[in-house]
Structure 1
Amino acid sequence: MRAVELRIPATPKAVPELRHRLRGYDYDVRLCATELLTNVIEHVGDGTPVCVSVVRAGGPGRTRIEVTDPDPRGTPAVLSAAETAEGGRGLVLVSALAHRWGVERGPGGKTVWCEVVREREPAGPGGRDGEDGRDGAVAGLGGVP
């Protein structure tokens, strides 16, 4: 499968369009990509320009998804959503489906990424057991001003 790189505005309309563009990928890859895009809409703003990249990553069955936005602020965090809440579970899903995930910051913004492996274990930020030294409780954009 060829790599995908899309430069699109983060809008609600872009979510099903992204899912359609990734139809050749596994369901988990499509779900993680659309959840990361939805996080930008919710926490950075509707219409924010983003770059979505999906590439095969070092090893059989491993796919890396990256969503880059121009806002370097905000610390992604996995949050508990109320049972009756209509949203707030995006990074919970990403964390459950991804082998590992994290955030990279640069002068022009940030990239939230995850790696999906066909045979996977739930991951905290940075790796299976929070390999980056965090306890696994940090990772979505909840509470970003």
Structure 2
Amino acid sequence: MTSPALGEVAVASPDSSRVNGGDSPGSRDLVARLPGVPSQVSRARGLVTAALGRDHPLYDDVVLLTSELATNAVLHTGSGAGGSFTVTVTSSETAVRVHVADSGSDGPPCVCRTSTQSTSGRGLPLVEALSHRWGFIREDGSTTVWFEVLQARVTAGAAV
């Protein structure tokens, strides 16, 4: 699948990615290429809403983590200097994975520990704490940061 034009949303092709070690992606998987300006962070959150719906059990965590990655793309990469970033939301019956691809930065993403007085620096620690797994890929001058969250399953007969 080619990247959508700036500001467009496209449905990802069925083989574009797999979540949770091989589950087939859902039919509402979406991709959007957005201008690297702060107002587009809310559009990234809207993409999650369009892909999952507000009633999805992982919605709150996915929206929060997507917002953090989109904000990082705008504030800390070339995307915020006149570039763009791309958000991909892929879901299955058991997991949701989000990729945020940006225009790259001088260094890799950092899960830096900040002081209690800091007003920033908590995005990737949140991703690390709330996601099942996460990572990043740096290639050809761009960085893609991704996370995956899993739905907890309660086994029949398990104490609640």
Asked if Structure 1 and Structure 2 have the same fold, meaning a TM-score greater than 0.5 normalized by the shorter chain, the answer is: yes
Distance 1:72 1:88, change over 3 A: closer
Aligned to 1:39: 72
Query: 1:118 Cα shift?
Result: 2.5
In the alignment, structure 1 residue 4 sits paired with structure 2 residue 30: yes
- In structure 2, what residue type is equivalent to 1:90? G
Structural mapping, 1:80-119, within 5 Å: 80-119=113-152
Aligned to 2:6: none
Q: Is the 8 A contact 1:18 1:34 kept in 2?
A: yes
- In structure 1, what residue type is equivalent to 2:44? L
Q: Is the 8 A contact 1:10 1:38 kept in 2?
A: no
In the alignment, structure 1 residue 75 sits paired with structure 2 residue 100: no
In the alignment, structure 1 residue 66 sits paired with structure 2 residue 92: no
Greater than 4 Å deviation, 4+ residue runs: none
- Counterpart CA distance in 2 for 1:15 and 1:2 is 20
Distance 1:38 1:52, change over 3 A: same
Q: Number of paired residues? A: 118
The answer for unaligned runs of 5 or more in structure 1 is 121-145
Larger radius of gyration: 2
Query: 1:18 Cα shift?
Result: 1.9
- The RMSD of aligned alpha carbons is 2.0
SS in 1 for 2:104: coil
Offset from partner CA, 1:43-69 (integer Å, 9 cap, x none): 114243111000015xx3211100111
The answer for unaligned runs of 5 or more in structure 2 is 1-26, 154-160
Q: TM (normalized to structure 2)? A: 0.66
SS in 2 for 1:19: helix
